[in-house]
Structure 1
Amino acid sequence: MAPFLSHPISLLFLLFSFLPLLSLSAVDQPYKTYIVRIDSQSKPSIFPTHYHWYTTEFTDAPQILHTYDTVFHGFSATLTPGHAATLSQHPSVLAVFEDQRQQLHTTRSPQFLGLRNQRGLWSDSDYGSDVIIGVLDTGIWPERRSFSDVNLGAIPARWKGICEVGERFSARNCNKKLIGARFFIKGHEAASGSMGPITPINETVEFKSPRDADGHGTHTASTAAGRHVFGASMEGYAAGIAKGVAPKARLAAYKVCWKNSGCFDSDILAAFDAAVKDGVDVISISIGGGDGISAPYYLDPIAIGAYGAASRGIFVSSSAGNDGPNIMSATNLAPWIVTVGAGTIDRNFPAEVVLGNGKRLSGVSLYAGLPLSGKMYPLVYPGKSGVLSASLCMENSLDPNMVKGKIVVCDRGSSARVAKGLVVKKAGGVGMILANGVSNGEGLVGDAHLIPTCALGSDEGDTVKAYVSSTSNPAATIAFKGTVIGIKPAPVVASFSGRGPNGLTPEILKPDLIAPGVNILAAWTDNVGPTGLDSDTRKTEFNILSGTSMACPHVSGAAALLKSAHPDWSPAAIRSAMMTTANTFNNLNQPMTDEATGNVSSPYDLGAGTSQS
């Protein structure tokens, strides 16, 4: 007797039995994007490809955004909830989950990690030559000196990727350093359609191409593998020779995140799929959920993509998120991902608040404009009025009559730090003191503010507020001290770094380790100024940023060095080498401490310790 599927009538019965899957799109149901995981072995032999199967049996071709066939099998498509629910009952469907929006986790660090010219791992690996790092981020600004291919050899023969053209990006923008670039936008466009909740990209400030309009992707790519660049600085700060952790490694940029609108799961998975097929050796992804919330591994696109990559011998590192110091705030928790927290290095950018009573309070700043030159200005804390938005210096919250010509004390809160300075400037203030709250503790990061600004820890912020409350005519000035190297103790676990324990699998330690992630100098886009604000018209080749986003590419670069020195090592072997040699002591040879509390840090803060090369 002939097999069931070989009989034409039987085949028609099979296809018609699933016609309801194609017709359940009720007009009153909104369309959403869903990711559908398929058991690839279930494909009937009558279909020449999986795509033919998907478009015949599961949904219409115009609805499909991406098909996945490397890191896993399946597709993403715009469907009604009813259609998605019916699909989930199909015997060949392993999972159906809604597309979600993820967020970005935003020159001395190689030396601080122990990398030295002509010796050690840099020498043993030839600086990571011929290892390919794929960076999933906001794209890349290819003209930066960090991406020069001078004196690099031929592109590795195993490379199968492309240089995708688009707005202000041509094939000539790739070279022997930046060997590939792609962009992924279908998931974003589906979410911003007529029935979607997301605003379409603003094409006056964004590029439909791999070109980086945000800066984050350029920064992370050059941190991992930027070439040596002489005369680097951010408006005079951190001056010196900039270089990535693996300066000779090749780069492939996969743009999955869009300025002001995030990164969609369906596009992230498409980039994972492409990167694996292209032939990368390392994937660096400084993206994840917020608020320490992690989906189960089988519904987490980064975990799914990373599993498919790791199973093919590709090392994947990702950021732990910036929701520390709360416990269980780490994200990207899958065991096959190297999850990276952030620590400080031995360089800082000190600033000082001098109060009218003579007290001097230490903080940090990257302000590079005209100094206050010791002049005292009236000091005001809008929070005395009891209006929360005023104390946080939110948009339109400040009374110009109260702040004009004064230095304004603003509470840090959760909104953008540099944006608070712009609010003060618009209201006529001459400077800002940015005070941490209890949740931020004493953790400080530098920002390239538009007005004279000093960030203070919680204790010294309270000192300023107490002074304002107890004095009839409070006054202050701010002094900027430039760049200081040799800070001790370092490293210190950054207060914002995502913490364990692992919220999904408590018996597996997360984060795996920490790496430099505070005040890191790296290449920057020409599209926006160093603050990232639309009103910031400054142009700078390099910028200084903080976040586990900056820590992740340090580990990606170190993995490239190890892969170059030991081509036969698996991702697990590279991860093991890093974790078993990680250091838990600072440069005072004392146990590493936590910036948030000043106490000795625990494995839930620093994982196995700080990455060493």
Structure 2
Amino acid sequence: MKEEEIRIGEMVGRMAIVPSISFVLFLFLSLCLLPSAISSSHQSGSELETFIIHVSSSEKPPVFATDHHWYASILRSLPHSPHPSQIIYTYKHAVNGFSVRLTHSQAAQVRRLPGVLSVIPDQIRQLHTTHTPQFLGLSDVSGLWPNSGYAEDVIIGVLDTGIWPERPSFSDSGLSLAPSTWKGICETGPDFPACSGKIIGARAFYKGYEAAMGRPVDESVESKSPRDTEGHGTHTASTAAGSTVENAGLFKYAVGEARGMATKARIAAYKICWSVGCFDSDILAAMDQAVADGVHVISLSVGASGFAPPYDYDSIAIGAFGAAQNGVLVSCSAGNSGPGTYTAVNIAPWILTVGASTIDREFPADVVLGDGRVFGGVSLYSGDSLDGLEFPLIYAADSGSRYCYSGGLDSSKVAGKIVICDRGGNARVEKGSVVKAAGGVGMIMANTAESGEELIADSHLIPATMVGQMAADKIRDYVRSNPSPTATIVFRGTVIGASPSAPKVAAFSSRGPNHLTPEILKPDVIAPGVNILAGWTGAIGPTDLDIDPRRVDFNIISGTSMSCPHVSGLAALLRKAHPQWSPAALKSALMTTAYNLDNSGNNFTDLATGGESSPFIHGAGHVDPNRALDPGLVYDISVSEYVAFLCAVGYDSKQIEIFVRDHSPVDCASHSPNFGSPGNLNYPSFSVMFGPGTDVVSYTRVVTNVGSSLDVVYEAKVWGPSTVEITVSPSKLVFNATNQSLSYRITFSSSSIKDPTAALAAAFGGIEWSDGTHIVRSPIAIRWGQSFDYGISSYVSGSNSESGRSVL
């Protein structure tokens, strides 16, 4: 499933437990220093920095009596530098090599020398985890973790490809029996012997799948039990609620302490996805059962692979509405069809929709060209390296297939060479296996404009790396202009630091605007979804290729499927800390406390374009768990308000009955007659459309004080484009013991009506309410022009048809 989830986006759209805040700041600043030096030296080429040189002792020339003499001769062979290079350490016990101060250009020269295995910049290290808890600021000392009891006894229903229960992430050490509120069962059998205190329930839903296929599940290929033979479900479940595991990692990468977001939460696994996908009938049955079983949060990294279907034709939206009615929050992935617009799915306003972002951990693998230029890439390759040796370089387009399709390469041209394969068209890791089969010794996966600078690490079966579009263009130019181009690939392991900045929004992450309801901004938030380490199945290798014989406890993969369970786990933590909050209040807390600046203090970058991201791409921003614990104010929404919203979008009583299932039809004429526009839903963000004849739009909101002080005053601050006047009335909200919910009206007046026949124009702003302690922030997205015209004929072609869904 791993390759499929990113392929959708490519085809469609393109642990140390820190004791104090001061110590966290110290570590952060320390990590910033070296990357800054690297960046500086890369620009000037003359500044010294420390490098660790790993060498092959077997290649030491016999003329040198000692390793130290050999190393010294290497330094003497380098071009003259105003700063003489001196050996700092000689290593000969744990590793073979030495450390030395060099310029960047000298390091590039050393990389090409015989016997040199790698040249790695020196860095400040620390004990680390799957790293997303640390990146999110979670700590055992303060904040959301200790104040929520790590979500003990909160039940997360994971609807996915099942679960591999023997993985260490699902240890129930220290956990009691299942909570008394749990009503579910564990479907046991020869292939799934038992559940535990961590995995308290497990079921498989396959009837819809079998009906559509016209045959039973092929149990020689996939298990009919809740056991995960794909890996996706094990990965998402351990991300949301995995127990603490020491020395976790994928081969030599990301080694450290692994832990899910909610380490003491319980998991109920519902297997809904099979080899061909996930069927609506099975999805809806599982959601229905999960609510009946007593889950508190549903994590669903599944969705449509095209445009989001209308709410009443979307089983996930329908099931999620029923879950919300029963107090269950549903967290869903936004999809991997970016960077195209209108591609976000799972966009019903009662769903928490999550996009994908990067974290400050990289797995660098540099391309070193024969002319000495070095281009950064990423890789999880763990086999024999190229030992610093240069090999002839060829572009796959000159050998029959630019995308390195199976059987498309001319082995007489590829054998013994490193091959440049363009990204797209087929699975990333599959490209390397095609190169290997044709006799190639390595692969450079080259991004095109569709993927931009987005880099996703893969556990290749051949020495390989992925480079961004700008580097790829230069490497291709080098091949075209040089009669004998050569290159090597240098693998640098795991690097954590502030360069490159993070988070960035993944190019594959689906984005808005919302084509169904322009007045509702989607996605809601972004969370870590690129190169995420979590548990894996024992049925397949980390590449999900049949030719991969490796089996691992953990795997590193990417997708909005990975960002969704991060937020699901955070929602479980908040649910434990605030059990009286509704799903809408939990969602509001995560949205209004999200941040919008990366760790360099700049606005988020969209990796698809290299430019700034916008609320149509990242929603309210990146989740900030500890701030969400105490949001100050929340935008709560009742079920009746969701019904009024459905009336406002034009649904009749029959359509609405699909969601509410009341015995008596809903009368929209009498149900919240003053609701008006769908934009009046009490949503924690704002989306405004100025259409033909519309230059003023007003929305009403109600905020509820959930802070520790009953008597508190919040004042508003708004900002937006110069062409739109934004006013708030009242601009000051005074809460007291008898009035903890107050309303305000926000009005948008456009002074520059665009040509309604022209392409949509967009601008952005925001509103903040602050009492001096809390900042309650909501994004504002503004558009001029006509809304997206989207038909539903494909969803009404047959009354008995079922729509397929894909993992994301």
Determine if the TM-score, normalized by the shorter chain, exceeds 0.5.
yes
Cα distance in 2, alignment partners of residues 145 and 394 from structure 1: 37
Give 1:289-308 correspondences, 5 Å limit.
289-291=304-306, 293-308=307-322
Alignment of 1:494 onto 2:515: no
CA contact (8 A) 1:105 1:321 kept: no
Cα distance in 2, alignment partners of residues 127 and 541 from structure 1: 23
Alignment of 1:133 onto 2:156: yes
Cα distance in 2, alignment partners of residues 273 and 154 from structure 1: 24
What is the CA-CA distance between 1:459 and the residue it aligns to? 1.1
Cα distance in 2, alignment partners of residues 556 and 218 from structure 1: 15
Other-structure match for 1:283:
298
Other-structure match for 2:387:
373
Other-structure match for 2:398:
384
Summarize deviations over 1:235-256 as a string: whole Å, max 9, x none. 0100100000000000000000
Summarize deviations over 1:296-338 as a string: whole Å, max 9, x none. 0000011111111111100000001111111111111111000
Give 1:106-255 correspondences, 5 Å limit.
107-170=130-193, 172=194, 174-193=195-214, 201-255=217-271
SS of 1:424's equivalent?
helix
Cα distance in 2, alignment partners of residues 248 and 460 from structure 1: 44
Amino acid at match of 1:558: L
CA contact (8 A) 2:6 2:508 kept: no
What is the CA-CA distance between 1:358 and the residue it aligns to? 1.3
Cα distance in 1, alignment partners of residues 550 and 448 from structure 2: 30
Other-structure match for 2:466:
455
Q: Structure 1 segments of 4 or more deviating over 4 A?
A: 103-106
Cα distance in 2, alignment partners of residues 567 and 415 from structure 1: 46
Other-structure match for 1:552:
564
Amino acid at match of 2:395: Y
Alignment of 1:427 onto 2:445: no
Other-structure match for 1:471:
482
Change (3 A) 1:566 1:603: same
CA contact (8 A) 1:104 1:288 kept: no
Give 1:29-68 correspondences, 5 Å limit.
none
Cα distance in 2, alignment partners of residues 148 and 339 from structure 1: 29
Summarize deviations over 1:210-256 as a string: whole Å, max 9, x none. 00000000000000000000010100100100000000000000000
Amino acid at match of 2:483: S
Other-structure match for 1:274:
289
Other-structure match for 1:317:
331
Amino acid at match of 1:219: H
Change (3 A) 1:429 1:595: same
CA contact (8 A) 1:105 1:287 kept: no
Cα distance in 1, alignment partners of residues 476 and 343 from structure 2: 30
SS of 2:479's equivalent?
helix
SS of 2:344's equivalent?
coil
Cα distance in 1, alignment partners of residues 304 and 439 from structure 2: 37
Amino acid at match of 1:281: H
Cα distance in 2, alignment partners of residues 351 and 284 from structure 1: 33
State which of 583, 586, 593 in structure 2 corresponds to 1:581: 593
Other-structure match for 1:264:
279
Cα distance in 2, alignment partners of residues 323 and 417 from structure 1: 16
Cα distance in 2, alignment partners of residues 279 and 313 from structure 1: 10
Cα distance in 2, alignment partners of residues 428 and 342 from structure 1: 36
When the two structures are aligned, how many residues end up with a matched partner? 499
Change (3 A) 1:105 1:160: farther
Other-structure match for 1:90:
none
**227-236 or 482-491: bigger deviation:** 482-491
Taking only the aligned residue pairs, the percentage that are identical comes to 60
What is the CA-CA distance between 1:105 and the residue it aligns to? 7.2
Other-structure match for 2:113:
none
Cα distance in 2, alignment partners of residues 218 and 524 from structure 1: 5
What is the CA-CA distance between 1:485 and the residue it aligns to? 0.6
Alignment of 1:511 onto 2:509: no
SS of 2:257's equivalent?
strand
Cα distance in 2, alignment partners of residues 193 and 221 from structure 1: 30
Cα distance in 1, alignment partners of residues 190 and 445 from structure 2: 39
Cα distance in 1, alignment partners of residues 250 and 384 from structure 2: 15
Larger Rg: 2
Summarize deviations over 1:496-544 as a string: whole Å, max 9, x none. 1111111111110100000000110000111111111111111111000
Summarize deviations over 1:370-425 as a string: whole Å, max 9, x none. 0101111111112136x5xx100111111111111111110101321011111111
**548-557 or 185-194: bigger deviation:** 185-194
Cα distance in 2, alignment partners of residues 288 and 104 from structure 1: 11
Change (3 A) 1:314 1:105: farther
Summarize deviations over 1:339-395 as a string: whole Å, max 9, x none. 00000111010110011111111111010110101111111112136x5xx100111
Cα distance in 2, alignment partners of residues 384 and 328 from structure 1: 36
Cα distance in 2, alignment partners of residues 503 and 415 from structure 1: 29
Cα distance in 2, alignment partners of residues 487 and 326 from structure 1: 28
SS of 1:509's equivalent?
coil
What is the CA-CA distance between 1:104 and the residue it aligns to? 5.5
What is the CA-CA distance between 1:598 and the residue it aligns to? 2.1
Q: Greater relative contact order: 1 or 2 (C-alpha under 8 angstroms, separation 6 or more)?
A: 1
Cα distance in 1, alignment partners of residues 161 and 442 from structure 2: 32
CA contact (8 A) 1:437 1:458 kept: yes
Alignment of 1:351 onto 2:370: no
Alignment of 1:412 onto 2:423: yes
SS of 1:157's equivalent?
coil
Amino acid at match of 2:291: V
SS of 1:610's equivalent?
coil
SS of 1:134's equivalent?
strand
Summarize deviations over 1:556-595 as a string: whole Å, max 9, x none. 0000000000111100000000000001111112222211
CA contact (8 A) 2:452 2:610 kept: no
CA contact (8 A) 1:232 1:542 kept: yes
Alignment of 1:485 onto 2:506: no
Amino acid at match of 1:123: P
Summarize deviations over 1:19-54 as a string: whole Å, max 9, x none. xxxxxxxxxxxxxxxxxxxxxxxxxxxxxxxxxxxx
SS of 1:146's equivalent?
helix
Cα distance in 1, alignment partners of residues 452 and 339 from structure 2: 9
Mark the runs of 5 or more structure 2 residues left unpaired by the alignment: 8-129, 626-808
CA contact (8 A) 2:5 2:336 kept: no
Other-structure match for 2:555:
543
Structure 2-normalised TM-score? 0.61
Change (3 A) 1:105 1:408: closer
CA contact (8 A) 2:297 2:328 kept: yes
Other-structure match for 1:445:
456
Other-structure match for 2:652:
none
Cα RMSD between the aligned structures? 1.3
State which of 382, 401, 406 in structure 2 corresponds to 1:395: 406
Change (3 A) 1:273 1:591: same
Structure 1-normalised TM-score? 0.80
SS of 1:125's equivalent?
helix
Other-structure match for 2:118:
none
Cα distance in 2, alignment partners of residues 383 and 507 from structure 1: 46
Change (3 A) 1:233 1:273: same
**322-331 or 550-559: bigger deviation:** 322-331
Amino acid at match of 2:308: S
CA contact (8 A) 1:105 1:288 kept: no
SS of 2:376's equivalent?
strand
Cα distance in 2, alignment partners of residues 368 and 153 from structure 1: 39
Cα distance in 2, alignment partners of residues 105 and 477 from structure 1: 27
Summarize deviations over 1:179-211 as a string: whole Å, max 9, x none. 0000011111111116xxxxx654333111000
